[in-house]
Amino acid sequence: MDKTIVISVFVVAGIAIMYSFWMSLSDTRVTVKQVSVQETYDYIIVGGGTAGSVIGSRLSEDINVTVLILEAGNHHETYPDIKDPSKAMFLQHSAVDWNYMSAEDSSFNGLRGHTHFITSGRVLGGSSAINYNIYVRGSPFHFDEWVTTYGGDGWGYKDMLPYFKKCESMEIERFKNSDYHGVNGPIAVSELPVPEVVYNVFLTAAKQLGYDEVDYNGQSQSGFGPIQYSIRNGQRSSASSEYLNINLIDQRQNVDISVNSVVTKIDIIDKVARGVYFIKNNKKQYVKIKREIIVSAGALKSPQVLMLSGIGPQKHLKELNIPVVVDVPVGLKLNNHVAVAVHVKCDISVLHNADEEDLISKIGSFLFGASEYGPFVTNGFLHTDPAAIGKEKPDLQMVLTQTIFDTTGLYNYDQSVRDIMRKSYQNETGFTAIIFLTQPKSFGNVKLNTADPFDHPRVHINQLSNDADVKALTKGIRLLEKITLTDSLKELKPDLGINEHSFCSDHVFKSDEYWECFIRYTAFISHHYSTTCRMGPAEDQSSVVDLSLKVKGVDNLRVCDASVFPSVTTGNTYAPVLAVAEKLADMIKNKAT
């Protein structure tokens, strides 16, 4: 066979298509208790994703209240492969994904039709059931900025830490006694094995640039460390599998989960939320509340539900003949992370001390089951300004892999761009640095396409619309260049030449202009959508919900998911959504007592 350790998603893509078709036929393999929705509940939760699972579980701990969770997708137990972390790649573009497509985005030159695939979980557990299980809280500096910059009193790091600990079951031995981690929560946090010699080479290189080895979910985020995953005993630790597991729900008679239930509108009379309209089994239904409705449908779907209910920008709602209940800026500040993958050719077999065929087996097995090694080696949180280390939040996240990691099949690249990229590293050995911009200055928005609740929302990404973001990613590539020049990597003879592509041939390779062109052609978005219903104090006209996550101008209605973040967190968003939902559940329970 070719001497290569490239994990090719070109092959995976074909398997994913077959898998997606199988998935679409597979939702009757497990019997899940069917519920009859009652006429009235104390609390109705719209969306059984990450936040909805947490809130539904915590509120139903009080046996004196009743809770209904309305989930548009099916139960996670009907898709057994959700449990397997190695199947994450296959879950995108499948029956458990909303399968949105973005509006045209001219900032990205390499995309087919300039449109993005938008992945968002449509299943109980939401995106926590289909993500890559990477567990990142975010920088303590960032949560303190929620207070100092956005007026979010009560949402600083000292306020959030107890909730990070509450949701966490730390399974990494060296962190179990840490003041920054919990051991009794529902969500498992663990590590996957990586070849120690490979990790040490990357870590030594990072240290030579002034970065320490850290627990990036601990006291300080700045530095490199082994990747922490939400995995328990080899299985996905999703919000629904842990907070709403079948055994727990069977024991509680006061919580109902209605799947395949598409919410069409919140019933609001005299600016008071009274109930919810939804469609299940092609039948329109209505259910009333005694206390509150919590919308937790995600940063793309929650704005849609609110706007269909008359809560949103007045001009936009009037264009669609939707009666305006309250004029608030729903959907107007979509924030997300953008990333670029840079490949480094080198003799990585020197590190593995194994023949290449054996190495392919060990690494490739992660994608196809029975993992020995995961594909990722380390997670780094870096600063474009070295003087900011230890003083400010990191503005870059760098994930280093132990192979040349082909991600082109996961994104909507134009075929010619995809072919050019793949050809450049097809039979090469090396590693990949996936560089995320954690604090982008570009914003998009979410609007309605029509007033039909079954139409997808119109999502404008606009992720590279601010040139500052392109320049910041360029600085990230410059940091990678410095890593390749360290003494630690010299033995590998690192070479970035495989990133020299013809679509940027008008620029001198490795110049700022070249890397900026490279970014605009090859960058891709993460799926960390947030800030579309952002929280703020009462006087903040740019916010949708107050600091108790109550929708401004409407009683008995709250929002809780990544949409309420004042700004996108520094890293993957699963962990902060869990903590925000834990905090809201406590706020509601304390108010009710």
Q: Show which residues are catalytic.
A: 528
HEC letters along 78-98: HCHHHHCHHHHHHHCCCCCEC
Nearest to 215 by CA among 393, 381, 392, 394: 381
Question: For residues 518 and 481, what is the distance between their CA atoms, to the nearest angstrom?
Answer: 15
Question: For residues 53 and 474, what is the distance between their CA atoms, to the nearest angstrom?
Answer: 39
| Element of type H or E holding 347 | none
Q: With contact defined as beta carbons under 8 Å apart, do 427 and 345 qualify?
A: no
Tell me which DSSP letter residue 8 carries: -
Angle at alpha carbon of residue 485, lines to 355 and 396, rounded to 5°: 95
Q: 549's torsion region: left (phi>0), alpha (psi -120 to 50) or beta?
A: left
What distance lies between CA 253 and its chain's CA centroid? Answer: 32
> Identity (one letter) of the amino acid at 233?
N
> What are the b/e assignments for 106-133, b being 16+ CB within 10 Å?
ebbbbbeebbbbbbbbbbbbbbbbbbbb
Tell me which DSSP letter residue 496 carries: -
Question: For residues 416 and 435, what is the distance between their CA atoms, to the nearest angstrom?
Answer: 23
CA 149 → CA 156, 159, 354, distances in Å? 11, 16, 51
Identify the residue whose tokens are 């990747």: 227
Question: For residues 100 and 297, what is the distance between their CA atoms, to the nearest angstrom?
Answer: 14
Identify the residue whose tokens are 């954690």: 438
- DSSP codes joined into one string, 350-412: HHHTS-HHHHHHHHHHHHHSS-SS-SEEEEEEE-SSGGGTTTS--SEEEEEESS-B--GGGTT
Mapped onto helix, strand or coil, the DSSP state of residue 158 is helix
Torsion angles phi and psi, residue 241, rounded to 5: -70, -25
Neighbours of 454 (CB within 10 A): 8
CA 358 → CA 5, 194, 365, 400, distances in Å? 10, 15, 11, 21
What distance lies between CA 526 and its chain's CA centroid? Answer: 7
Two tokens, residue 593: 């007592």
> Identity (one letter) of the amino acid at 223?
G
